[in-house]
A and B are shown apart, each in its own frame.
Chain A
Amino acid sequence: MEKQREEMSLDEKQEAMFEKWLSPKDPQGNDLKFQSPQAEETYKERIIRTKDAIQMKKLPDRVPVFILPSFFPVYNAGITPQEAMYDYDKLYAAYKKFILEFEPDGHLGADMPGPGKFFEALDYKLYSWPGHGVAPEQSYQCNEGEYMKADEYDALINDPSNFFSNTYFPRVFGALQPFQALPALTGILEMYGLAYSFIPFGIPPVQAAYKAIMEAGNEAMKWVGTIMAWNTEITSLGFPNIIAGFTKAPFDVIGDTLRGTKGTMLDMYRQPDKLLEAMDRLTPLMIKMGVGAAQMNGKPLVFMPLHKGADGFLSDEQFKKFYWPPFRKVMMGLINEGCVPFPALEGHWDTRLEVIQDLPKGKTFWMVDQSDMAKAKKTLGKVACMTGNVPSDLLTLGTPQQVKDYVKNLINIAGKDGGYIVSNGAFFDHAKPENVKAMVEVTKEYGVYK
């Protein structure tokens, strides 16, 4: 009989998640049918190889290799980011070509571009995307701003959902501007007076906003149909999509999404207690977001893109006071539910490595961009598996031989005694296909553990 969840150790909970990942389901919830026994075997080998690297209990058969691109599969297929965001058949074909051409042990799926018409329906402001602020042949880019004002911390802390729907949404979605007029849902309590609360829903602009939401929802459904079909086919061919979903470090929720870099930095001086309180309030929400995705998709890795904690963006003291404690709490919350937090250290994080190694061994997995790998191996690498560090400039401008030499060296340094997976360090758009291929090939040849 299955053990009760409360009785399970952290190791057992994580193991159970990996077990689920080893038995994938199709969109109807039935056991997924692989295209061949060989494909099924390869799929399982890839996951076990990844699991062994992450858990650090025994050596994998060889160093696994992932490719973690941004828009590279799109350029590689000769289509534009705009086409990938608006023509789902082209998206499907481009990402399928990418997987079959490079055969990585792990990939991120085909959902990076997202559905263009969906963003249009909502008039999304936080990002510019091809044809909407950036050229058709370019990837989307973030428009940081103060979408939450300096004096709105209490509103966020008191009722985060209400703050998001009635204040944040009207600012980042042009089509949802009328949501400012929505009632507080927690005021809906008794028969008497109930109809007053629903008056806003009768106002034409609010009704128009709901129409936009339905239109966006329809487009999201259409797009996700493609994404699910793609995942099913690619999985059935033996290629695991490694991430279940994503969540964020609370400091980045405020820094990237709500207050912007500048606003958050000023808050550290002018209202540090409010900033800390708000992150505390967001922490359980971020845990729930990651755990929910992992349970729904039946796999352990929860991606966490990290931004404002990089070297220089905060002093050491600020990092230890503001960034690390809530970030660690989110990771521990995920670990406690059997998930494997998968943070990406974008840029340089050399000065943070000693601090962030305060974690249980074999429970987290880190993407490293440009940090010093030898130093990372001696610190964070003692308790956690890492991936990445193959540089963007090398993949874009180098030669296959240079890539091979670089990866061999990485395997020697970071792959020694396991705990390392080869991959690119930053999510990349442009690269020479032969260089990406060289990264995969050299790992498969040179990365075998004897």
Chain B
Amino acid sequence: MAKELVSTLADLKEKEALKIVEDRLSAGEDPLKILDDARRALEIVGNRFADGEYFIPDLVYSGEILQIITDMVKPKLAGAAKVKRVGKVIIGTVAGDIHDIGKDIVVFMLDVNGFEVYDLGVDVPAQKFVEKIKESGAPVVGLSGFLTLAYDSMKQTIKAIKDAGLRDKVKVMIGGGQITEEVKKYTGADAYGKDAMAGVTLARKWIGTS
């Protein structure tokens, strides 16, 4: 049945997947196992997205189904589910910009690829990134932005990280609608990722998990 849930969820068959979860829960199965299968299914979804077989709506839909499964399983969980994580990444949309779609896709892809993601949300002040780096010790920071104003916000955020003496402790990647290699140079980031998968590849390279 494990394989069934993994493939059904990976194929985005919502009703069937939820029925399997329901049956397994009423059969008294360990809820952690169910969650683990769901996580494996999402990993497949992530791979299919990376291969160009799946698109953004497929990610959104799989995330939605996972949320329903998590809500079903939660009441039966004794303790918190511990998932082994390969490394920490901080992500946020920079100050002044409130766009979240692109950022959320990167968060999703990092998450299904095993990273512990600290999502700081949108319109994030530079100082908040600095504090999170200190607190979490994450070695990778992703700055997202959709508007041209983000060029300066990104530059200022990276400067704030530098001023806090943390620049050599983190690698910074940037991405978003109007972000290019030129913008990377302007902001002083370490790399620019043209899509969510590029973000995962960079994080893997820097954290040394590939």
A residues whose Cβ falls under 8 Å from a Cβ of B: 128, 133-135, 138-139, 141, 143, 261-262, 265-266, 268-270, 312-315, 318, 347, 391-394, 396-398, 426, 428-431
Contacts and interface: CB of A to CB of B under 8 A. Distances in A.
A397 B186 contact: yes
A393 B177 contact: no
Give the size range of B's interface with the partner. Answer: 20 to 34
Nearest to A262: B60
A393 B58 contact: no
Contact of A393 (B12, B99, B180): B180
Contacts of A135: 96
20 contacts: A135-B96, A141-B97, A141-B147, A265-B60, A266-B61, A270-B14, A313-B57, A315-B55, A347-B177, A391-B178, A393-B182, A393-B183, A394-B182, A396-B151, A397-B151, A397-B186, A429-B147, A429-B149, A430-B148, A430-B149
User: Which 5 residue pairs across A and B have the least CB separation, nearest first?
Assistant: A265-B57, A392-B178, A315-B55, A430-B148, A393-B180
B98 A391 contact: no
A119 B14 CA distance: 41
Contact of B148 (A318, A347, A428): A428
Given A262-B64, A393-B183, 11 more contacts: A135-B96, A138-B96, A141-B99, A270-B14, A312-B56, A313-B56, A391-B178, A393-B178, A393-B179, A393-B182, A396-B151
B101 interface: yes
A134 B96 contact: yes
A138 B14 CA distance: 42
Contact of B57 (A318, A347, A393): A318
Interface of B: 12, 14, 54-58, 60-61, 64, 96-99, 101, 123, 147-149, 151-152, 177-180, 182-183, 186, 195
A396 B177 CA distance: 14
B101 to A, nearest CB: 6
Query: Chain A binding site: helix, strand, loop or mixed by DSSP?
Result: mixed
Contact of A312 (B55, B61, B99): B55
Contacts of A268: 57
Contact of A314 (B55, B64, B96, B101): B55
B149 A128 contact: no
Contacts of A313: 55-57
A391 B195 CA distance: 18
Contacts of A143: 98
Most-contacted residue by chain A among B56, B60, B64, B186 (CB, 10 A): B56
Given A139-B147, A315-B58, A426-B178, A266 B101 contact: no
B57 A430 contact: no
B63 to A, nearest CB: 9
A349 B149 CA distance: 23
